[in-house]
Amino acid sequence: MATNASAQSAAISASTTGNGTCTTIPSVPSGLASPAQTTTSISLGWGNVAAGPNCTVKYRVFRGGVQQGESTTNSFTNNGLAPDTAYSFTVAAVSEAGASAQSAPITARTKQIIVGGSKNVIGYFAQWGIYGRNYRVKNIDTSNTAAKLTHINYAFGNVRNNRCQVGVTIPTNESTGEGGDAFADYTKSFQAGESVDGVGDTWDQPLRGNWNQLKKLKAKYPNLKVLISLGGWTWSRGFSSAARPENRQAFVASCIDAYIRGNLPQTDGAGGPGAAAGVFDGIDLDWEYPVACGIACGAPEDNANFTALLAEFRRQLDLVRPGLLLTIAAGAGVDKIRVTDPGTYHQYLDYINVMTYDFHGTWDPQTNHHSPLYGSPADPSTGDQRSYNTHDALQAFRTRGVPAAKLNLGIGFYGRGWTNVSSANNGLYQSGSAAPGTYEAGNEDYKVLKTKSGSHFTDATARAHWLLSGNQFWSYDDPALVFEKMQYVKNQGLGGAFFWEFSGDDAQGSMAQAIKDGLQ
């Protein structure tokens, strides 16, 4: 963000550090370069300048001679630029003693807006959404979202006792990982008015429930692919054991038998051999997280076992028929990425859904961005959390050898919120606690947040949006920011985007529309 240069100079001149006064004016920064550009931003970097005794050094960035901001590190991102436009930049170092001359200028150009191209648009459908959220497969169609999609991931299938557990209806126990809802999956009868094709289920159908509705949706949209997502936050406990050498072959076989061949346990008059054949076009693994900690903590051997598990899934899927999809959802924190080997395992995958949201939430004692596109020098986070942003997450995969086209950027159709927040800094980086939410404290759907009154803000550096509503701070993507992120997807050559999950969108499918529009 642009700053008041004269006020900064006065503040710097008046300050001292250590036990004495700074008298050393820093030298001119060298090595100014632009390592990355998007359609609307240019990232800059340069060499560090020595501070001198009792001095601290900051850097001022100028575009066309006009100061754009100040950084405490040797990098800066200038946002809000026009596409396909050249800009001239310089940088100066400043200490308490004064400012250096500006560096030699460089010219960098923002990228063109790329029109067209085939990109993934993937939506998660939550099994339990048919209850309190009253969201059915039919709503994917009536919101005009179905025509915008390439894939649907059905969440979730449980991993229990080294098998894909199918056909049970028991409450979820987060402490043990137990749980299942065969009723929602394939035994619930939907009436004609609830059905995709207007035809109600009969009592003796072997396939009813959500899965039959997905099959009907595929019939209406023949290019649409549907995958079963295994695990998720609550049901990931079983992966570590299932992936072990002595278990993985039988585990994978059980998943393929149920979800690809469609052989379902008979329950409540539904199921049987081949009952779900043709519903799923592949398998998505949402192991949260190999080696690292999710609802439970993994083990060091998860790294090798995860890669081997993906290889086994690929092998067995290919034996059934070529073209069946294998994907994963992956954590976006570098602490989750570096403990696995994406440079090796990506060869078995069609794509990786990088969960570029939930970087911050009410597990943090102060407000912060839920899903920033970039990092910000103003972010008070420390350690690995300094790189909790979309760009750094995707770069972490790319620098480890994953092709950009295999990476999908994640969008949350919900926000994270704090209450009892001060209005200082418009609520950003202020202390607070979990704000009330419809289903969960600190969490609210986009369709609800869009109706809240208050003041809206966008972090010009991080490219993140928030709402200050009274003493509540809500961080969430709105359609405008989603559109901007899709420009990033195109300019970085990514595979596409995915979102969690359908029921968070409004009845018109505004967020899904922004994804599709942005990828045109």
Query: DSSP E strands: which ranges in 345-406?
Result: 351-355
What is the Cα gyration radius of the chain? Answer: 25
512/518 Cα distance (integer angstroms): 10
Identify the three-state secondary structure at position 9. Answer: helix
155/179 Cα distance (integer angstroms): 13
pLDDT at 14 over 90: no
**Cα-Cα end-to-end distance for the chain:** 29
pLDDT the model gives residue 111: 77
Which sign, positive or negative, has the C-alpha torsion 222, 225, 228, 229?
negative
Q: Which two tokens stand for residue 145?
A: 């979202």
pLDDT at 8 over 90: no
Choose the weakest-confidence range: 114-118, 166-170, 205-209, 414-418: 114-118
Question: Which superfamily is assigned to 120-168+190-413+477-519 in CATH?
Answer: Glycosidases (3.20.20.80)
**Domains 5-109 and 120-168+190-413+477-519 belong to one CATH topology:** no
265/386 Cα distance (integer angstroms): 47
Residue from 248, 235, 353 nearest 310 by CA: 248
Report pLDDT digits (tens) over 128-145: 999 999 999 999 999 999
Going from the C-alpha of 471 to that of each of 52, 279, 421, 426, 435, the distances in angstroms are 43, 46, 5, 10, 9
Going from the C-alpha of 378 to that of each of 1, 382, 464, the distances in angstroms are 11, 11, 13
pLDDT at 472 over 60: yes
Q: Is residue 178 annotated as a catalytic residue, yes or no? A: no
Class at the top of the CATH hierarchy for domain 5-109: mainly beta
pLDDT the model gives residue 6: 36
Catalytic residue among 288, 444, 484, 501: 288
pLDDT the model gives residue 117: 56
212/410 Cα distance (integer angstroms): 27
Is-contact 115 188, C-beta < 8 A?
no
pLDDT the model gives residue 19: 61
38 vs 504: which has the higher pLDDT: 504
Confidence category of residue 113, pLDDT binned at 50, 70, 90 = low
Domain boundaries, the chain: 5-109, 120-168+190-413+477-519
Q: What are phi and psi of 39, to 5 degrees?
A: -70, -25
Is-contact 402 452, C-beta < 8 A?
no
Q: Which two tokens stand for residue 312?
A: 């086994």
Q: What are phi and psi of 59, to 5 degrees?
A: -130, 135
- The alpha carbon of residue 483 and the mean position of all alpha carbons in its chain are separated, in whole angstroms, by 15
pLDDT the model gives residue 3: 38
376/260 Cα distance (integer angstroms): 44
39/368 Cα distance (integer angstroms): 25
Confidence category of residue 17, pLDDT binned at 50, 70, 90 = very low
Q: What are phi and psi of 49, to 5 degrees?
A: -110, 135
Residue 487 corresponds to which amino acid? Q
Report pLDDT digits (tens) over 45-62: 999 999 999 999 999 999
Residue 509 corresponds to which amino acid? G
Share of the chain above pLDDT 90, in %: 89
Identify the three-state secondary structure at position 229. Answer: strand
Query: DSSP E strands: which ranges in 10-74?
Result: 33-37, 42-45, 58-63, 66-71
Residue 217 corresponds to which amino acid? L
Helix (H) or strand (E) holding 283: strand 282-286
Tell me what the pLDDT averaged over the chain comes to: 93
Report pLDDT digits (tens) over 293-345: 999 999 999 999 999 999 999 999 999 999 999 999 999 999 999 999 999 99
pLDDT at 116 over 50: no
Report pLDDT digits (tens) over 403-458: 999 999 999 999 999 999 999 999 999 999 999 999 999 999 999 999 999 999 99
Report pLDDT digits (tens) over 360-378: 999 999 999 999 999 999 9
Is-contact 436 416, C-beta < 8 A?
no
pLDDT the model gives residue 62: 97
Identify the residue whose tokens are 């550090």: 17
Is-contact 228 276, C-beta < 8 A?
no
